[in-house]
Amino acid sequence: MQPFVKLTGVVAPMDRINVDTDQIIPKQFLKRIERTGFGQYLFFDWRFLADGSPNPEFELNKSGYEKATVLVAGRNFGSGSSREHAPWALLDYGFRCVIAPSFADIFYNNCFQNGILPVVLPEDTVKRIIANAEAEPGYALTVDLEQKRVWDNAEGVVATFDLDEFRRHSLLNGLDDIGLTLQSGADIEAFEARRSKHGGVLGTV
Burial 138-149 (b: 16+ CB within 10 A, else e): ebbbebebeeee
Tell me, what's the pLDDT at 105? Answer: 96
Q: Is pLDDT of 197 > 90?
A: no
**Percentage of the residues of the chain whose pLDDT score is greater than 90:** 79
Q: In terms of residues, how long is the chain?
A: 205
Whether residue 117 contacts residue 4, with contact meaning beta carbons closer than 8 Å, is answered with yes
Q: What is the mean pLDDT of residues 121-141?
A: 97
Q: Is residue 1 part of a domain?
A: no
Closest listed residue to residue 132, CA positions, set 58, 47, 48, 70 = 70
Tell me, what's the pLDDT at 202? Answer: 57
Q: What is the mean pLDDT of residues 89-116?
A: 97
CATH assignment of the domain containing 67: 3.20.19.10
Tell me, what's the pLDDT at 156? Answer: 87
Closest listed residue to residue 23, CA positions, set 7, 45, 40, 1 = 45
Supply the pTM of this predicted model.
0.86
Q: Are 57 and 107 part of one and the same domain?
A: yes
Mean pLDDT of the chain: 89
22-35, pLDDT tens digit by residue? 999 999 999 877 88
Q: Are 156 and 96 part of one and the same domain?
A: yes
Q: Are 110 and 147 part of one and the same domain?
A: yes
Q: Are 126 and 193 part of one and the same domain?
A: no
**% helix / strand / coil in the chain, to the nearest 5?**
35, 20, 45
Tell me, what's the pLDDT at 184? Answer: 43
Q: What is the mean pLDDT of residues 36-40?
A: 94
Q: Are 130 and 186 part of one and the same domain?
A: no
- Residues forming beta bridges with residue 28, ordered by sequence position: none
164-191, pLDDT tens digit by residue? 999 999 999 999 755 555 454 454 554 4
Tell me, what's the pLDDT at 155? Answer: 80
Instruction: Grade residue 205 by pLDDT with cuts at 50, 70 and 90.
Output: very low
Phi and psi at 192, nearest 5°, equal: -65, -35
Q: How many other C-beta atoms are found inside a 10 Å radius of the C-beta of residue 181?
A: 11
Q: Is residue 201 part of a domain?
A: yes
Q: What is the mean pLDDT of residues 194-203?
A: 59
Tally the domains of the chain: 2
Q: Are 151 and 190 part of one and the same domain?
A: no
Q: Are 163 and 189 part of one and the same domain?
A: no
Full residue range of the structural domain in which residue 191 is found: 176-205
Instruction: Grade residue 201 by pLDDT with cuts at 50, 70 and 90.
Output: low
Q: Are 93 and 191 part of one and the same domain?
A: no
Q: Are 155 and 196 part of one and the same domain?
A: no
Whether residue 21 contacts residue 87, with contact meaning beta carbons closer than 8 Å, is answered with no
